Amino acid sequence: MDPDEIRSARIQLAACFAVLVGVGALMFSGADVSCSFGGSEPAQAGKPVPNFQTTLDDGTALSAADLQGHVTLMTFWATWCGPCRQELPSIDALYDEHEQLWVYGVNLDRGALETRRPQVIAMTRELGVGFPQVYDDGSVGRAFGVSGIPHLVLVDGEGVIRHQHIGLVPESMLRREVEALLEERN
């Protein structure tokens, strides 16, 4: 290699390294790393869970009233969302570790249920995700004011939103928040 080729290769290597460092810093800074699609104002921490009614993937009804008495994590996500794909296994780990934590995935993919359901099942199986899913028709997302995903909502046992995150959340932060709420219940 001549000196110009070596210099060019070094510049390319340095540029790739800079991009990797930047992406890593962004992910762990708490900055908004999300897939946005517009919407209304998010439901606010310190306020009661908005009224909603929906159906879980097994046919069970779910409403805001059902969350009373349970620490609940709701994650709004879609199969096409890269940050969602990264975050779902961390949420599932919390679900597996804490029996008293209720977790619901609210899938926001668009299209007919017969098209969405196989995609959601394939992705959750691939990622090893076992918590219940909702195939949202848009009503639950609107009730919570979801404008970007992943969108996480942590609800205390009194039905009050305690934490809300739009974008990828570091697992350590989510774990601290969940465990603190569970500790309050005990």
45-69: average pLDDT:
94
Work out the pLDDT band at 44, boundaries 50, 70, 90: confident
The domain that holds 60 is classified in CATH as 3.40.30.10
What strands lie across the sheet with 71-77, from one edge to the other?
133-135, 101-107, 71-77, 151-155, 161-166
Q: Are residues 55 and 81 in the same domain?
A: yes
pTM: 0.78
Q: Which residue has the higher pLDDT, 140 or 113?
A: 140
pLDDT of 82 over the 60 cut = yes
Which DSSP state fits 72?
A: E
Q: Are residues 24 and 61 in the same domain?
A: no
Tokens 């249920």, residue?
113
Q: Are residues 38 and 23 in the same domain?
A: no
Q: Are residues 21 and 60 in the same domain?
A: no
Q: What percent of the chain has pLDDT over 70?
A: 78
Q: Tell me whether residue 4 is exposed, middle or buried, using C-beta atoms within 10 angstroms of its C-beta: 0 to 12, 13 to 18, 19 or more.
A: exposed
Q: Are residues 59 and 17 in the same domain?
A: no
pLDDT of 162 over the 70 cut = yes
Which of 19-33, 62-76, 129-143 is the least confident region?
Answer: 19-33
**For residue 169, what are the domain limits?**
33-185
Which of 10-24, 44-58, 148-162 is the least confident region?
Answer: 10-24
126-146: average pLDDT:
95
Element of type H or E holding 15:
helix 3-28
Q: Are residues 27 and 73 in the same domain?
A: no
39-64: average pLDDT:
88
Domain count, the chain: 2
Q: Are residues 134 and 154 in the same domain?
A: yes
pLDDT of 41 over the 90 cut = no
What's the chain's average pLDDT?
A: 84
Q: Are residues 105 and 120 in the same domain?
A: yes
Q: Are residues 12 and 83 in the same domain?
A: no
Tokens 């609800």, residue?
155
The 10s digit of each residue's pLDDT in 87-132 is 999 999 999 999 999 999 999 999 888 899 999 999 999 999 999 9
Element of type H or E holding 21:
helix 3-28
Q: Are residues 63 and 5 in the same domain?
A: no
Q: Are residues 39 and 90 in the same domain?
A: yes
pLDDT for the residue 74: 97
Q: Are residues 130 and 174 in the same domain?
A: yes
